[in-house]
Amino acid sequence: MKLRPPTGRRATDLMVRIWAGASAFIGIVILFWILYVVIQRGLGAINLEFFTQLPTPPGTGGGGLANAILGTLVLTVAATLIAVPVGLMAGVYLAEFSEDSKIGDYSRFSANVLMGMPSIIVGVFAYTMMVVPLGHFSGYAGALALAILMLPVVTRTTEDMLRLVPNTLRESALALGAPRWKVTLVIVFRAAKGGLITGILLAVARVSGETAPLLFTALNSPYWFHSLSETTPNLTVTIFNYAMSPYPDWQQKAWGASLLITVGVLVITLLARFILREKKV
């Protein structure tokens, strides 16, 4: 066999290394550029009033976004309560019971497609399913839309994490007479808990900055909300409305809300990576 000269291979390797390094550098620069701009423009809006007071009327200075912050937290928690149990059980089925199953293949394919589904389409779906029949916007519709976006992330992460657990652990528990459901929920879940928590946190980070689904479902409100059955204030739609307004004070608050969401997503992502790294160790 004729050997290729090492000079060409080394040159190709060097080019690929330079290309990969340059791409990574550009991505890091863009990330820190975004963080710098958001911090520079939004830090001035962060104060005690921002977290404790309601928005002021258009053109009036002062006030805060306390209702939108609370509404975002409630919507995220509600979506998590809907998506996580369903996603965990779907992931259990795909990892533990769907071997050589057409339903498992279709479910896995559907989850993959749903992961790439534009969020605005999910918003239109939730609008059609809940807002139109009920005749009004509501936090429940917003929570449903966010839960649909979270569901495939939790499902696929659960499947992947459970498949990483060695089969010998399952076989040992089954040999001792433990039923299959108990082996899965007690033994396998405990072995994969770090990855499962990471998947849930990543799903929460996935929906934290979504605006389009909430425009069609929860909409927004400048007042405190008392139930998810009514329009629910939230940070993302507030950012959309305030950033498009002609009022400098509202634009400043939009940057402050953007900073708050950015920091929240960054903290959740770092926490997920820390848990996953701790699990690997």
Determine, yes or no, domain membership for 29: no
Average pLDDT, the chain: 89
pLDDT of residue 120: 93
Determine, yes or no, domain membership for 274: yes
**CATH number assigned to the domain comprising residue 151:** 1.10.3720.10
pLDDT of residue 48: 93
Query: pLDDT tens across 35-77, in order?
Result: 999 999 999 999 999 999 999 888 788 899 999 999 999 999 9
Q: Is 127 exposed, middle or buried (0-12, 13-18, 19+ CB in 10 A)?
A: middle
Determine, yes or no, domain membership for 152: yes
For range 217-224, the mean pLDDT: 92
pLDDT of residue 133: 94
Determine, yes or no, domain membership for 43: no
Query: pLDDT tens across 1-25, in order?
Result: 556 667 777 888 889 999 999 999 9
Determine, yes or no, domain membership for 164: yes
pLDDT of residue 128: 95
pLDDT of residue 278: 55
Determine what percent of the chain is predicted with pLDDT higher than 90.
Answer: 62
Determine, yes or no, domain membership for 35: no
pLDDT surpassing 80 at residue 84: yes
**Are 219 and 137 a contacting pair, CB within 8 Å?**
yes
pLDDT of residue 281: 45
pLDDT of residue 21: 93
**Are 234 and 72 a contacting pair, CB within 8 Å?**
yes
Domain count, the chain: 1
pLDDT of residue 146: 96
Determine, yes or no, domain membership for 17: no
**Are 207 and 115 a contacting pair, CB within 8 Å?**
no
Domain that holds residue 142: 67-280
Query: pLDDT tens across 262-279, in order?
Result: 999 888 888 877 876 655
pLDDT band at 86 (very low <50, low <70, confident <90, very high): very high
**DSSP string of the chain?**
-PPPPHHHHHHHHHHHHHHHHHHHHHHHHHHHHHHHHHHHHHGGG-SHHHHHSPPPPTT------HHHHHHHHHHHHHHHHHHHHHHHHHHHIIIII-TT-HHHHHHHHHHHHHHTS-HHHHHHHHIIIIIHHHTS--HHHHHHHHHHHHHHHHHHHHHHHHHTS-HHHHHHHHHTT--HHHIIIIIIHHHTHHHHHHHHHHHHHHHHT--HHHHHTT---SS--S-TTS----HHHHHHHHHTSS-HHHHHHHHHHHHHHHHHHHHHHHHHHHHHHHHH-
pLDDT surpassing 50 at residue 87: yes
Query: pLDDT tens across 112-150, in order?
Result: 999 889 999 999 999 999 999 999 999 999 999 999 999
Instruction: Record the tokens describing residue 211, joined without a space.
Output: 């605006």
Instruction: Record the tokens describing residue 130, joined without a space.
Output: 């809940």
**Are 257 and 265 a contacting pair, CB within 8 Å?**
no
142: nearest Cα among 72, 77, 214, 205: 214
Determine, yes or no, domain membership for 231: yes
Query: pLDDT tens across 176-188, in order?
Result: 888 888 898 888 9
Three-class HEC string of 183-230? HHHHHHHHHCHHHHHHHHHHHHHHHHCCCHHHHHCCCCCCCCCCCCCC
Instruction: Record the tokens describing residue 119, joined without a space.
Output: 């969020």
Measured CA to CA, the distance from residue 66 to residue 50 in angstroms comes to: 6
pLDDT of residue 180: 86
**Are 79 and 154 a contacting pair, CB within 8 Å?**
no
Instruction: Record the tokens describing residue 59, joined without a space.
Output: 């053109």
By mean pLDDT, which of 102-106, 128-132, 145-149, 213-217 is the weakest?
A: 102-106
Instruction: Record the tokens describing residue 91, joined without a space.
Output: 């992931």
pLDDT surpassing 50 at residue 189: yes
